[in-house]
Amino acid sequence: MPSPITQRGILVGIDGSPSSASALRWAAKDAAMRNVPLHLVHVLPAVVPTWTAATAVPPMPADVSRWREADGRQVIADGVKIVEQTPQAQSHGQPEVTSRLFYSPTIPTLVDLSKEADMLVVGCRGRGAVDRMLLGSVSSGVVPRAHCPVAVIHDDAESSDERAASAPVVVGIDGSPASELATAIAFDEASWRGVRLVALHAVSDADLSFGVASMEWSATMATAEQTLAERLAGWQERYPDVAVRRAVVADRPAGRLLDEAGSAQLVVVGSHGRGGFAGMLLGSVSTAVVSAARTPVIVARQH
C-alpha cells in the first residue's frame, strides 16, 4: 500500500475526466480558503492478465507501459494547471500543492491515503463511466470506506458558481454520532464561506407514531424543534458568525435534503443515521443524497 501523506490537508483523486476536473477545482478552492495543502493523486490500476495460472504470463510491452506512465504524468500535469487557473484559489492565495502517481488498485489506495487526510474529494464519475450512472465505481467505492470526510462533486457543480457564493450550507441532523460529525463539518464550512446554515431534522418514526396515536401532533413537532435547538446551541456558541435556519420535517428526510440542495452550495450528511447498525457502510439517506444531488455533498466519515 502507498506510504502515508506526511502533511495533512485535502486529498483529491484525479483521472483526467470532466468530473475529476470539477472535483479538483472545488478542492483547490476549499484548500486555498482554509490555507491547507492540496494533495493530487492519480492511480494507474495494475493491469490484470487474462492468462490462466498454468500459462506463462508475458511482460507488458515496454511501449504500453511507457504510454500508461506518460498518460498518468500528463493527468497530474493537467491537474496542477487546473489548480493554478482556478479563480477562487487565486483570490485566496494558491494552496501548497503536491502530486503523486501510484500503480495500484484505485479504491484501496485512496482509502488508505485517506487515513492521513482531512478530507478526500472525488468526482461523481470517472473516465469511462456511463452517462446514466449515478455514481462511478471509485466514488461509490471510497465513500463508504474512507477514514475521513468525503466530498463528492458532480460534473455540473460549477454551473451556478455566482449563485452558490452566497447560497447556504445544508446539513441533515438526526441525533446519531455521524450526524454530530456532520454538524461540526457543516458549521465549519459555513463559517469559512461566510454563509448561513440550514439545519434539517426529521422526526423519528417512533415520535411520529406517538404523536398521531395520542393526537398530540403539535406537541410532537414542538418537542422536535426544541431538541434540534438544543443540539445546535453549543455549535452556535462556537460559531457565532453563522446564522442558522432550523427546519423540522415529518417524513422523507432524503427528499427534503434534496429539495434544500437545489438552492444550496453544499450539503453535509452523516455516513449512516440513527437507524443504521454497526456493520452498515452507508445509510439510506446519505446514499440517496450523494447519488441524486447535483450540489457538492460531504459525507461525514472518520477513523
> Lowest mean pLDDT: which of 52-56, 127-131, 269-273?
127-131
pLDDT exceeds cutoff 50 at 121: yes
Looking at residues 242-251, what average pLDDT do you find? 88
Q: In what order do the strands lie in the sheet with 97-103?
A: 97-103, 38-44, 10-13, 119-123, 150-153, 297-300, 266-270, 169-173, 197-202, 244-249
How high is the pLDDT of residue 27?
A: 95
Banded model confidence at residue 76, pLDDT cuts 50, 70, 90: very high
pLDDT exceeds cutoff 50 at 280: no
Q: Which residue has the higher pLDDT, 303 or 207?
A: 303
Mean pLDDT of the chain: 80
How high is the pLDDT of residue 3?
A: 45
pLDDT exceeds cutoff 90 at 30: yes
> Lowest mean pLDDT: which of 46-55, 56-65, 227-236?
46-55
- Give the span between the Cα atoms of 244 and 237, in whole angstroms: 12
Q: Which residue has the higher pLDDT, 8 or 244?
A: 244
How high is the pLDDT of residue 5?
A: 46
Quote the radius of gyration of the chain (alpha carbons, Å): 21
- Give the span between the Cα atoms of 197 and 160, in whole angstroms: 19
Residue 136's SS3 state is coil
> What percent of the chain has pLDDT above 90?
42
Classify burial at 183, counting beta carbons within 10 Å of its beta carbon; exposed 0-12, middle 13-18, buried 19 or more: buried
Q: Looking at this protein, which amino acid is placed at residue 265?
A: Q
Q: Which CATH number fits domain 10-153: 3.40.50.12370, 1.20.140.10, 3.40.50.720, 3.40.50.150?
A: 3.40.50.12370
**pTM assigned to the model:** 0.83
Return the beta strands (E) in the chain as ranges.
10-13, 38-44, 97-103, 119-123, 150-153, 169-173, 197-202, 244-249, 266-270, 297-300
- Give the span between the Cα atoms of 26 and 157, in whole angstroms: 9
User: Is 269 within 8 Å of 290 (Cβ atoms)?
Assistant: yes
Give the class (CATH, top level) of 161-300.
alpha beta
Banded model confidence at residue 179, pLDDT cuts 50, 70, 90: confident
pLDDT exceeds cutoff 60 at 216: yes
- Give the span between the Cα atoms of 123 and 143, in whole angstroms: 11
Looking at residues 122-132, what average pLDDT do you find? 58
- 34-60 residue pLDDT tens: 999 999 999 987 655 554 555 555 555
- Give the span between the Cα atoms of 153 and 123, in whole angstroms: 5
Residue limits of CATH 3.40.50.12370 in the chain: 10-153, 161-300
Looking at residues 107-132, what average pLDDT do you find? 79
